[in-house]
Amino acid sequence: MPEGRRESSSLHGLPRFPGGAGLAGFSDVDQQPYTVLAYGNGPTTSQERANLSEKETTSMNYTQQAAFLKRLETHSGEDVAVFAAGAWAHLFSGVHDQTYIPHALAYAACIGQFSGAECHSEQMKGH
């Protein structure tokens, strides 16, 4: 991005193939296609904007404006930070695939497949 600024863009429903351009899927409301990449603002908006008041936008029932018409939201393709402190926090240093996190949590907590005799605390006795 020029001058070190990030544009107000987002990734929507990232397809299962690499890239980032092109279509991500179809709206489950109006069956129109939507793109993988969208800008949060700019000259190509296709929806009329409502005249909003501060009272409306702070209401518990307010629904935030969206770039694409869908019944539910999709997750972005952005990275998510994981912070850890204490015992076994070293398992979360660096960059990891999202599938690693639940396994590392289970290992650190001695639950699931890492419970009982498989628990690391049994391996650490006498150390």
For 84-122, the pLDDT digits (tens) are 999 899 999 999 988 899 999 999 999 998 888 768 754
The residue assigned the tokens 């639950």 is 111
- Give the pLDDT score at 24: 77
Question: Which residue positions form the known binding site?
Answer: 75
> Model-level pTM?
0.46
Question: Which residue positions form the known binding site for Zn(2+)?
Answer: 75
Helices (H), the chain: 54-57, 100-109, 120-123
DSSP H helix total and E strand total for the chain: 3, 4
Length of the chain in residues, anyone? 127
